[in-house]
Amino acid sequence: MVALFSAVVLSLAVASSSVTAAALAGRAPAHAPLRSSRLLRRTCRHVAVVKDITSESEFNAALKQAGDALVVIDYSTSWCGPCKVIAPKFAEFSDQFPAAAFYKVIGDSSSDANKLMSKQGIRAVPTFQLWKGNTKVCEISGAKAAALEEAIQANV
């Protein structure tokens, strides 16, 4: 009887402690503290943000919202091989230069995006335009990461 009573008390104590119960089950409890907050701090940083522009009105709104800050626009298509190659580097630049706004226009995503590319005179993809204060300050055609980085550094 004493052994049965001890087993019941022990099982109640274990059940009331989710940390202990989870440990006995071989898993971490839902509310367990992070094991290494240093690791978390090291991995939490500015997240690369490249926003989509799908029309001329969104293009104008992006330039207006940026004010005097640098706006970098990547004009590409979904089928373009060099566009796919440079896309991760473009996203990296958005992380590297948080003071600038980064956008992409995918010309074959909609007729409005295609019209915007035509209106901007885009004849090859990828093409990158840098805008500051509603004025185009630079245009780079081709997947030239080094040239793009230099242009961003010079204008940011």
**By C-alpha distance, which of 30, 74, 36 is closest to 52?**
74
- Give yes or no: 138 in active site: no
Whether 92 and 74 have beta carbons less than 8 Å apart is answered as: no
Divide the 156 residues of the chain into consecutive groups of 10 and give the mean pLDDT of each group: 48 47 51 49 61 97 96 98 97 96 97 98 98 96 98 97
What is the reported pTM? 0.70
Which helix H or strand E contains 3, and what residues bound it? helix 2-16
For 68-81, b where at least 16 C-beta lie within 10 A, e where not — what string?
Answer: eebbbbbbbbeebe
- Give yes or no: 80 in active site: yes
Q: In the chain, what are the domain boundaries? A: 2-41, 51-155
**What's the pLDDT at 108?**
97
Which helix H or strand E contains 105, and what residues bound it? strand 101-106
Tell me the C-alpha distance between 73 and 105, whole Å. 7
Q: Who contacts 33 (Cβ-Cβ below 8 Å, separation ≥6)?
A: none
**What's the pLDDT at 8?**
47
**What's the pLDDT at 57?**
97
Catalytic residue among 83, 101, 117, 140: 83
**What's the pLDDT at 25?**
53
CATH architecture of 51-155: 3-Layer(aba) Sandwich (3.40)
**By C-alpha distance, which of 99, 90, 95, 93 is closest to 47?**
95
Q: How many CA atoms lie within 13 A of 113 on its CB side?
A: 17
Catalytic residue among 53, 80, 148, 151: 80
